[in-house]
Every structure is written in C-alpha cells, then in structure tokens.
C-alpha cells in the first residue's frame, strides 16, 4: 500500500492529536515536529500522549512516520552561538524522536550566510559529526533534505549533500529526504526525466540512503531556486509527474509526505487539500468522496471547456502573471485557485451546497486532468 500522508499538527495532545488529524485525511503515514518549528520551547515527553497516539496509529494501520527538525537549526552558521544552539538542540530533538519511536528526523542542512559553500559544507559536517557522536544511544537517522537553492542554503545539488556525508566520519545514520518542489526548483527535471534524476541521485549519493520523499508541487518553473510550494496539480510539476513519482518502483515502501500549502479566500475558510491529494494519488477519490464527486469533476471540465479554458495552462499562466503583476504593483493578487473558484461560484457550475473546501477539492481533482478520470 502506498505510504502517503501529510505534515500534521503536534500541538495540544501531541502524538494523539497528530494521529487523529492524519487519519481524518486518509493518511497511511505522516510527519510531525515535536514542538513549534520556530523556537526551542518543548513540552516534556510525558505530556505528548505518545501511547494514546500509537493506539490510534495501530488501529488505522499507520506504521512508519517521520519527524522534522525545527527551522531554527542552522549547522552552517559561522557564528559560534548559533552553531552551538543548533548542535545542542538537534541532539535533543534526536533524543525526542527516538523516544517517540521514529526512525528518521528530517533536517534542512543549513546556510552559510556570509561565508561560502565550501565553508558551509565543512561546518555542517562538523556539526553532524558532533550530533551523531552525542546521540549514539539512539538509532535515529538524520535525513538531510534536498533544497531549492534559495539564498545561501546548502543542499541545492546532490553533490553538496554527498559532500556533507563524505566529511562525516561515521555516517551510517545519515540518510536523505528528497523534496519534489525543491529539486524541481533547483533545476532537476522531475517532470520529463524522473528516471534520470533517480539515476543521478544513485550515482552521487546512493538510493540506499533515500529515506523520505516530500511531495510538493511548485509555483515556479524548473530551476527557479524559489522554494514556493503548491498543492498537487496546482503548479509547474503537475499531477501526472507527481503521480509517477509516488508510484515509482524504486521508491516503493518509502514514506511520502505532503507539505502543500492550505488554500482559501480568507483566514476562516483556508483549508488543506491533503484529503483530496492523498485520495487522488492513491487512485481512490471515488471511494473516499463518493460517485457524485467524480460527476462534479466532469461538470467542471465541461464548464471550462465551454469557456475555452484549459485549467492547467490557466494555472501556470496565472502564476507567471502574478510575478509580473507584483513587479508592476497591479491590483489583482488572487492566486489561480481563487480565480477558478470564483468562476465556478459565479456561474453556479456545481449543483450541491458545498463548502469552499469541498469546491476546492473538486477543482484539485479537475487539475489532475481528464486522463485521470478515464483511468478510474
């Protein structure tokens, strides 16, 4: 069974809260932070409802899950206090991950800021060496995440990831998290030649180190180095390419984790598309949402055909227009899905009394393409 889920909240009742949220989306895996990703405040492990969460997971058939290290960890920093905080805090996060019973903690390698890439790689390797040495009592792996190439971050190429690993003496607990948006934005052709991307990864790093895949579409074309995630099918990678990735034979049994942004026209209606994304990628949209769901998607296709609008081309053109409009300071900031949603509602395309989330779920399915419907 395809192991796919999303990032879920670890607030309030810890693992219990996270597991229940994951189940509500139809997940078969999920990813958590052990506390807020922006700070070092952490609740004690006895207040994280770990046993209760694992009971929910067992009932739902969820086994392997993933932890993500907080964003404030920067092992690439030349500043001693920042580096020291990163090492000490990451060691503590590894111990917490071990206590929860999770095998891999995903880490953004770090940024070199005012130095250079060579310095950053060496500094990150130095920090990882200390972290691994200080957590030898655990069997937790640190999964270095592939990055988009934004700013001075390290990890924008497979070679940079490999260089870090090679500089760490005892590196058997170093694995890799591949992010589809990040490698697309870094210039790897995940759309037309994902087989070639995997061959390159295997040659440079080794597929045996690949532990986790983050599944995200991108708001930018290949090589943009921007790191702007989009829901599946809402961006330049597209549903077909992402579906090919999660079904790739070389990646079977790996956990796939959605980090796609929530969408909606206001703070009160913004919602994730996780449930629809998971069902669509699993090929079980009808089973999850019922037959009327696919009938509604057909209605959407028919409506946009009559308007002479190809939804995917429309979405990509809108992302490009938004970049132009931002530079020109024009007045229509609406993202593609908001514009499509407005057209659907203004023309009363759907017969049901649906919430904004439900309409967006159907639009997400529409963006999977007519070919998707014919395969069901």
Spatial separation of the C-alpha atoms in residues 202 and 196, rounded to whole Å: 10
Q: What is the DSSP letter of 333?
A: -
Residue 238 in tokens: 């597209």
Spatial separation of the C-alpha atoms in residues 90 and 96, rounded to whole Å: 10
Residue 160 in tokens: 């940079």
Torsions phi, psi of 66, nearest 5?
-130, 145
Is 349 in a helix, a strand, or coil? coil
Binding site members for Zn(2+): 68, 108, 145, 179, 182, 214, 227, 229, 259
**Within its chain, how far is the Cα of 370 from the centroid?**
25
Torsions phi, psi of 197, nearest 5?
-60, -45
Side-chain-side CA neighbours of residue 225 (13 Å): 9
Per-residue pLDDT of the chain (376 residues; tens, 9 = 90+): 899 999 998 877 899 999 999 999 999 999 999 988 888 888 888 889 999 999 999 999 999 999 999 999 999 999 999 999 999 999 999 999 999 999 999 999 999 999 999 999 999 999 999 999 999 999 999 999 999 999 999 999 999 999 999 999 999 999 999 999 999 999 999 999 999 999 999 999 999 999 999 999 999 999 999 999 999 999 999 999 999 999 999 999 999 999 999 999 999 999 999 999 999 999 999 999 998 999 999 999 999 999 999 999 999 999 999 988 878 778 778 899 999 999 999 999 999 899 999 999 999 999 999 887 666 5
Question: What is the residue-wise DSSP string for 225-255?
Answer: ----EE-TTSSSS-HHHHHHHHT-GGGTT--
User: Which residues face 214 on adjacent strands?
Assistant: 179, 257
Report the length, in residues, of the chain: 376
Contact between residue 293 and residue 364 where contact means Cβ atoms under 8 Å apart: no
Query: In order of start, what are the domains of the chain with their CATH numbers?
Result: 4-261 (3.20.20.150), 285-372 (no CATH)
- The pTM of the full predicted model, rounded to 2 decimals, is 0.96
Binding site members: 68, 108, 145, 179, 182, 214, 227, 229, 259
């Amino acid at each position: 069974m395809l192991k796919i889920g999303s990032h879920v909240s670890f607030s309030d009742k810890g693992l219990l809260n996270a597991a229940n949220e994951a189940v509500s989306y139809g997940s078969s895996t999920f990813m958590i932070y052990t506390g807020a990703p922006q700070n070092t405040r952490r609740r004690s492990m006895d207040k994280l409802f770990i046993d209760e969460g694992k009971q929910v997971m067992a009932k739902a058939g969820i086994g392997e899950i993933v932890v993500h290290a907080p964003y404030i960890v920067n092992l690439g920093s030349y500043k001693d206090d920042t580096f020291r905080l990163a090492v000490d805090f990451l060691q503590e996060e590894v111990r917490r991950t071990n206590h929860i019973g999770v095998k891999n903690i995903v880490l953004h390698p770090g940024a070199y800021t005012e130095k250079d890439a060579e310095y950053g790689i060496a500094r990150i390797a130095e920090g990882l060496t200390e972290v691994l040495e200080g957590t030898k009592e655990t069997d937790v792996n640190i999964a270095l995440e592939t990055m988009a190439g934004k700013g001075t971050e390290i990890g924008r190429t497979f070679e940079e990831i490999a260089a870090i690993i090679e500089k760490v003496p005892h590196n058997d607990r170093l694995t890799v998290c591949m992010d589809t948006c990040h490698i697309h934005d870094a210039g790897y052709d995940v759309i037309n030649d994902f087989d070639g991307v995997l061959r390159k990864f295997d040659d440079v790093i080794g597929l045996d180190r690949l532990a986790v895949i983050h599944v995200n579409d991108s708001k930018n074309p290949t090589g943009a180095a921007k790191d702007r995630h989009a829901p599946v099918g809402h961006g330049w990678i597209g549903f077909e390419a992402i579906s090919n990735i999660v079904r790739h034979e070389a990646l079977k049994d790996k956990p796939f984790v959605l980090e796609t942004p929530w969408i909606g026209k206001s703070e009160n209606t913004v919602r994730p598309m996780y449930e629809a994304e998971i069902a669509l990628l699993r090929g079980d949209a009808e089973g999850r949402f019922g037959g009327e769901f696919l009938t509604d998607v057909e209605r959407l296709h028919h409506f946009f055909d009559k308007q002479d609008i190809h939804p995917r081309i429309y979405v990509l053109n809108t992302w490009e227009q938004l970049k132009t409009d931002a530079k020109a300071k024009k007045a229509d900031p609406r993202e593609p899905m908001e514009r499509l949603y407005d057209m659907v509602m203004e023309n009363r395309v759907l017969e049901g009394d649906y919430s904004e989330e439900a309409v967006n779920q159907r639009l997400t399915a529409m963006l999977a393409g007519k070919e998707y419907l014919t395969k069901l």
